[in-house]
Structure 1
Amino acid sequence: METDEEFKLAAKRLKAEGQRALTKEERARRRRALDGLDVPNFDAFVVDRGASALVRKPTTILQVNIGLYCNQACSHCHVESSPLRREEVMSEAVAARLVELIDASKKKSAIKTLDVTGGAPELMAQFRPLVLAARQRGLDVIDRCNLTVLYEPGQEDLPEFLAENGVKVVASLPCYSEANTDAQRGVGVFERSIAALKRLNEVGYGIEGTDLELDLMYNPGGAFLPPSQETLDVAYRSELGDAYGVKFSKLFTLTNMPIKRFADYLHREGKTEAYMKLLVDNFNPAAAEGVMCRDLVSVSWDGRLFDCDFNQQLDMPMKGGNGGDGGLSVFDVASLDELVGRKLAVDNHCFGCTAGAGSSCSGSTA
């Protein structure tokens, strides 16, 4: 197929070029661009608008970024993953410590879910061992999947592995349109994504009567808020079902955060100030009450602890521990129970999670 050949060429280019890491100077310039805007202090704004103070509750979700290596390099990616980021992957020691913390965190916290992300988490050596350890302990497991990873060498049995272990799949598909998806992710990605969804359907994912959950994640293709989940769910079911015979369980929407590659896009288009105003003007106190950081702990590939995945990508770790400015790590705490009651680290990007119907890694929050 012509599109298949185009996909191979695009993949070859990505693997050759990748996405280089930003220098400290570039990161500082990006930070100053946001700080220079007249954006309210988020912490004070939340309380002033009637929401409760932002402090940690008992942890129910452990979200683990096990590596930044990815077979894609998407234009909207807040993690800035790419085929070149092969060194930033979780070690066996960090993975083992995570399992110890799951076992130890049972007095105040009740960890119910291991949420595994990346990069393309399935390509990391610690992915399958972590999944198996969590399932053996009765935890729900979420695999945040980019879909095309199913066609990477060595992943031929991935659908069966996920199904046999009852792993919930949250698949990122930015649009039901081939043109819009390929614009964000690269030529041929949509076609491969549809093929992957069909493959997951074949083993029972998204099929009524099975317990195998296949959820889709949508994020806007520009500087605007996502439509309602309910409206978009109907559109996705119609478009994907009628055109391709694809089935799924639920659809989630995720607001684009004004960080990393999307922040670069806003800067290039001259839309940073307007987008931040959009987020602030649409602040929703109910969404602030439901923000995921209240009961989620985010862990980076090197074991550092964060209040959310976005803070992780901005290098805003939980303070304290032997890491000094590097912040707390999994080796600094005996249990995640120790984190309960801590004040959450926030900044102006947090308005992305509280705008409109709210936004989280599990969709809207209000």
Structure 2
Amino acid sequence: MLPLLDQLAFPAIRRGALQALQVNLTYRCNQRCLHCHVNAGPNRTEAMTDECLAVLHQVIDAHPVETLDLTGGAPELHPRFRELVRHARREGLRVIDRCNLTILSEPDQEDLADFLADQRVEVSASLPCYSRGNVDQQRGDGVFDASIAGLRQLNALGYGQPDSGLLLNLVYNPQGPSLPPPQQALELDYKRHLAEDFGIHFNHLLTITNQPIARFGSTLVSRGQFTDYMQLLRDSYRAENLAPLMCRSLVSVDWQGYLYDCDFNQMLELPLALIGRERAHLRDLLQTGLDGNPIATRDHCFACTAGQGSSCSGALA
């Protein structure tokens, strides 16, 4: 007989106060990673329009959100990325750039690291391992060396250095259908290896569980691993991870300005529920709050509550 949890849907949960906007500026990326739940890549053309960006600026000005979390694709490839960052920083928002590191060495991006430091943007940089073989296997040949070069560039500007105030966090995803190891212990391993081997320093490691959707989900299906992975996520469910879930305080915004409870729901086209709206949009945030709104959940949500928990800010427990 299957465990009781396997016979139930993910628990019903509701929103608290909105604290962060996570905006997917574009699906265009200079990489095409196996674990990417966005299916981003060099040939994607979706990007937020000027009209939609104008509404986003209005929301930043009028709504008491604290954080603007910019993602993609590679968000830096959006032509209005820097303008948006400057606007948000002038309004006093904490700005996070979900950076893949290799973008720092792309043509026309040579001054990107200087810009991020000047605006005191928090960098959350993808680095799925501290070894060349594992990174290149997951993200493509040459990615590791380019990532190390990007980290050195950021370190030279003060990122990850004591008392600089320039936060540099690294993001870890498992390579296959497994849960991340304990975040604190893995962070110590990362810091030791990167410091000893490359002279690199950073602030925190954020471990994120791979979502069984999009490119990673398709890979699991093709390898006959999808069912076992979903069972692992369900068996590893921890109720105490429900309270700090990121979807309670964050709204995900797609490149067209439509709202979702999280970036994963965005990829599954599960829109945020708002009374009187078939699809909630950024402009709705100018007129209404989201406190108490039900959160759209499906089986993939078990990835966020499994084990130590998972969010865009790393482990929950």
Please indicate the TM-score interval, normalised by the length of the shorter structure: over 0.9
Report what 1:328 is aligned to: 280
Structure 2 residue aligned with 1:235: 189
Q: In the alignment, does 2:29 pair up with 1:70?
A: yes
1:357 aligns with 2:308: yes
Q: What does residue 20 of structure 2 align with?
A: 61
1:141-162 superposed Cα distances (whole Å, 9 cap, x missing partner): 0000000000111111111100
The residue that corresponds to 2:54 in the other structure is 96
Q: Which has more helix, going by share of residues?
A: 1
Would the aligned equivalents of 1:321 and 1:329 in 2 still touch at CA under 8 Å? no
| Cα deviation 1:320-341 (Å, max 9, x = unaligned) | 58974xx111134424x42221
Aligned ranges 1:170-249 → 2 under 5 Å: 170-249=124-203
TM-score (norm. length: structure 1): 0.83
Q: Is the 8 A contact 1:303 1:330 kept in 2?
A: yes
Following TM superposition, by how much is the alpha carbon of 1:263 offset from its aligned partner in structure 2, in angstroms? 0.6
Could you say which residue in structure 1 is the equivalent of 2:298? Answer: 347
- What secondary structure sits across from 2:242 in the alignment? helix
Root mean square deviation, CA, Å: 1.5
1:1-366 matches, within 5 Å, as: 39-43=6-10, 46=11, 53-86=12-45, 88-105=46-63, 110-319=64-273, 324=278, 327-335=279-287, 337-366=288-317
Following the alignment from structure 2 to structure 1, what is the Cα–Cα distance between the partners of residues 235 and 179? 12
Supply the AA of the counterpart residue of 1:329.
H
Name the amino acid aligned to 1:345. Answer: A
Is the 8 Å Cα contact of residues 173 and 207 (structure 2) preserved in structure 1?
Answer: yes
Give 1:355's aligned amino acid.
Answer: A
Unmatched tracts of structure 2, length 5 or more:
none
DSSP 3-state at the match of 1:97: helix
- Give % identity: 49
Taking structure 2 as the reference length, what is the TM-score of the superposition?
0.95
Q: How many residues align?
A: 313
Shift of 1:286: 1.5
For 1:349, the aligned partner's letter is H
* Preserved CA contact (<8 Å) 1:283 1:356: yes
Q: Which runs of 4+ in 1 moved over 6 A?
A: none
